[in-house]
A and B are shown apart, each in its own frame.
Chain A
């Protein structure tokens, strides 16, 4: 198998990393989703190490709080005992899980250094089971994820790892930089490895793949595929980012400065070869020879490097005792401790079972307990929710004063509840992109934002354009931009920061002290200085062919004219410029005498080529929507949430975003279904589409959905940090309608205040709604909102089924009416393909960042530094931190987020759900139980839970 194929085979072990500017929540173990959850976690643990479940002490605390139901827990234990054929009383297993397991490690070492009698039979039994006596196998296991320089470090204490990783990080951070530094690495357009060859003075002819192959040969690597994985795991954050870039053809930085995993691998191996070439062990064959000659020394040193040697063995090594003796003592001590652990456990359990049998049973229980506890916690929640769902009553269908659609995001639940309590309002939930994927170009910005889930690529471009004069905005913007540029250059230039601080550093003190002591007033002051965007609208209609032709012509004419004037120093007539343009694009004769150099410059530098002409036309052809597309998206949206009749006068569609200060993870708090961006543009675009009379006519004709002429769609934005709602495009209302809508706005404002108050009572460190508002603008606040922490489930069904439930911002709520879905369950499939995938990513990102923040999370924000504008690392240099910071999931060292799989409740007949599962891209993770699907089938009067590959009835309604 070629090196590239070998790399392809292992690359999915590491997760994608999206740049922090549009943070995408994702499952860090996505590469394991083809396996059942439990097996996947076991496999991941063997690769990444660390924890995959919370420890038993955590679950015991939940048990004491009453969150884990005793009956559920006992049933799960019974099931486990049956499955594992463990013939022991339930009580014994339960006592082990509750009394012994939380102190399992303590029981092993508690009396370790006092002389206790070891049961000889137990000792012999454990001795037989241990793998310690097969030194070759043990050593192979120990070095399975180690590079050769790490092995050298462990054996001889060289310290090369630090140097190699630093060199790798130094190069790739400079190469992958996205305009954070003012002194950029030259030649990056050549690609990562090509640039590296210049940087390191390597021979120019060799390509990355050949270099990797040659390096692996020189290192005499026995299993190159496994070794490539070993290298990927060393800095899996950076590797994940390079992998993401290389697989996204639309990523602008990748188009400019290409990089691939094979480039990255070549760079790593270059530094490894450099490090080991002068070391005692310069290839794996030498290591094998060394290990065969001195197995005990090799084992002891590697154990020491992995922190597996205890104090006495370390002292003996330091004292220069024979490693054979130390190893023997180590093994004896380890088995003694294992035996003591069983004996101490039995002291607590007081079991009559022989110790040998008990050892095997406890070993099995210990292996299974993480999943057992997790499932018990989830099952308890599922049953409790099932009881509440059963109490739902059908509400009478009447036309409301207004409806409000929010993102399904968990943070909408509280405000939706309060809006409904304020008056005659109905609320809906939908994926924040509203089923309308758009590439959005914001006013005054040049780049596209993909406002859709990361797995969906938008095909329609929407521009935001001003509808009133933007002169004032532009002039203020120019001043701000220039000031920022000057400050940034002064700050980032290696020679100027010192003098800058001395000269103008005090100016920043105003902002610093203001934000610290008077955050709200300071924010108001500075917001007045910021340029205010003029009123805007969106380009939602398609451009005609003539218009497209005109725009492309204008663009090219302008460029040609500018270059010709600058090179010739004189004006050219329109006809002459047109002649040059037609010559370059269509190969027609050129009437203007121009040098080849000028023509080449226009072709190569300014891209006036037939290819670019076609590309520009194609791009402009993507602007806006055709009538069919508009009807398609509007119908999709309305049927997806089940709003197909009884339209109120005001249909509000409310996107969401978050506001915080000094927070590199800000986009993690925006809309996940919009690729970590604010979802207002989707709401505005959809409302504009829905307000067009030709769209309504076509909708009625094609789908029999009637929207009255009096109904107006109004977009809004929900700031999730403060629960404020702001509406847009209200100027299309007439005076009477505006007055009526103002009353509705008052109700929504009151609901906002109530929601803030409810959250203030629930969140740590907040008491009043004032605290909530202050958090959003406090530069020192590590948790501007708790965002999506504590998310635990999703519900797809009618609002009437959950309206009576207080869900504390913990469930993603997607409106869905199975009655209007077809037999193929197309609507539910769409919900699975978009919102459910996003929900699962968010949920599992939180899950793994909580269970082991060192491996799957980003660590503490306190040590973070933004690097290359793509992510954060710890201190001066480190791996790119994936996942969420501790402050997003922990409170005072304890888990704040409650890590459970997404409890996914779907209200629909079972057959429909099965059909949707079958058709959906989410099928693997649904069937492999990376979420917990629950079906509420009101037709059949049953609630089903998906367990062990089938839906089983857990409650009759």
Chain B
């Protein structure tokens, strides 16, 4: 029971970001890093403490997930989107118990990519807000391509690892009403939010009011490394799905 409560908290099963936001002491970047760290702890903890299915916690996490989808749809800041995505995926972590570690890991890697993009925006455009950075695929194609990869991964599109783990866990588990609710909410929540970002910042006409900054070689290499990680996780995901 206690382990479940701890794991629910660590995995983002309750929207504690509300308290952090309200305190005014933490900016969105810190909340993202903090939430990601706690999720990482949860992943590590599952390898030590055996998890057990707790319907109540999964239901709480589902409520948190729905609320986070609503909140995420209101923001155009990558950092905020990042931590909302952690909370949106929490019921999956809790419901699918031992299967969820790899899924959460690939979620974290995709969020790492998103975080690097957000930091690039912050450094060059003053904030991680993407509302006005439109048409990056045309203006800065490298950035557009990497961001597209991350968003497609997050939107649970095959053959990227998140989708593969998601599918393989779906095939291996036994459905019940809560299962259906979680799968639907997590799948469509991720998909909707990722696609929303794509239409707003990746596609369309570049904004003539801003000066687009190209990525340096070092930044490209960093993204390539994240992409390589996702690729490795993807191969592992294929293996999982086939076995």
Contact = CB atoms under 8 A, between A and B. Distances in A.
Interface in A49-77: 50-51
A315 B207 contact: no
A489 B80 CA distance: 51
Interface stretch (B48-56, B119-127, B158-166): B119-127
Contacts, number: 56
B124 to A, nearest CB: 8
A180 interface: no
A314 B211 contact: no
Interface string A293-329: 0000000000010011111101100100000000000
A110 B127 CA distance: 14
A312 B127 contact: yes
A217 interface: no
A310 B132 contact: yes
A311 B74 CA distance: 15
A314 B129 contact: yes
B131 interface: yes
A713 B121 CA distance: 69
B76 interface: yes
For A105, A106, A112, A311, the residue with the greatest tally of chain B CB atoms inside 10 Å of its CB is A311
Contact of B210 (A50, A51, A310, A315): A310
Given A106-B211, A108-B211, A314 B123 contact: no
Given A307-B132, A311-B132, A318-B74, A112 B209 contact: no
For B76, B121, B132, B207, the residue with the greatest tally of chain A CB atoms inside 10 Å of its CB is B132
A312 B125 CA distance: 9
A247 B241 CA distance: 64
B196 interface: no
A307 B134 contact: yes
Contact of B131 (A50, A105, A314, A854): A314
A120 interface: no
Interface residues of B, number: 23
B121 A311 contact: yes
Contacts of A304: 131
B127 A314 contact: yes
Interface string B200-214: 000001011111000
B128 interface: yes
Contacts of B124: 109
Interface residues of A, number: 20
Contacts of A108: 211
B75 interface: yes
B211 A311 contact: no
Contacts of B211: 105-106, 108-110
Given A113-B123, A315-B77, A318-B76, A308 B129 contact: no
A51 B206 CA distance: 13
Interface string B81-105: 0000000000000000000000000
For the complex, would chain A's binding face be called helix, strand, loop or mixed by DSSP majority? Answer: helix
B71 to A, nearest CB: 11
Contacts of B128: 311
Contacts of B80: 318
Contact of B207 (A307, A314, A318): A307
Nearest to A104: B211
B127 A315 contact: yes
A314 B209 contact: no
Contacts of B126: 112-113, 310-312
Interface in A91-125: 105-106, 108-110, 112-113
Interface string B58-82: 0000000000000000111100100
Contacts of B209: 307-308
A226 B127 CA distance: 37
Contacts of B123: 113
B204 to A, nearest CB: 10
Interface string B122-150: 11111111011010000000000000000
B210 A314 contact: no
B229 to A, nearest CB: 28
A428 B150 CA distance: 60
B223 to A, nearest CB: 21
A798 to B, nearest CB: 47
Interface in A304-362: 304, 307-312, 314-315, 318
Contacts of B205: 854
B132 A318 contact: no
Nearest to B209: A308
A49 B223 CA distance: 36
B125 A310 contact: yes
A311 B127 contact: yes
Contacts of A110: 211
Given A309-B132, A311-B129, A314-B77, 17 more contacts: A109-B124, A110-B211, A113-B126, A304-B131, A307-B131, A307-B134, A308-B132, A309-B131, A310-B125, A310-B127, A311-B121, A312-B126, A314-B131, A314-B132, A315-B127, A318-B74, A854-B205
Interface of A: 50-51, 105-106, 108-110, 112-113, 304, 307-312, 314-315, 318, 854
30 contacts: A50-B208, A51-B208, A105-B211, A106-B211, A109-B210, A109-B211, A110-B211, A113-B123, A113-B126, A304-B131, A307-B131, A307-B132, A307-B134, A307-B209, A309-B132, A310-B125, A310-B127, A310-B132, A311-B121, A311-B122, A311-B126, A311-B129, A312-B127, A314-B76, A314-B77, A314-B132, A315-B127, A315-B129, A318-B76, A318-B77
Interface of B: 74-77, 80, 121-129, 131-132, 134, 205, 207-211
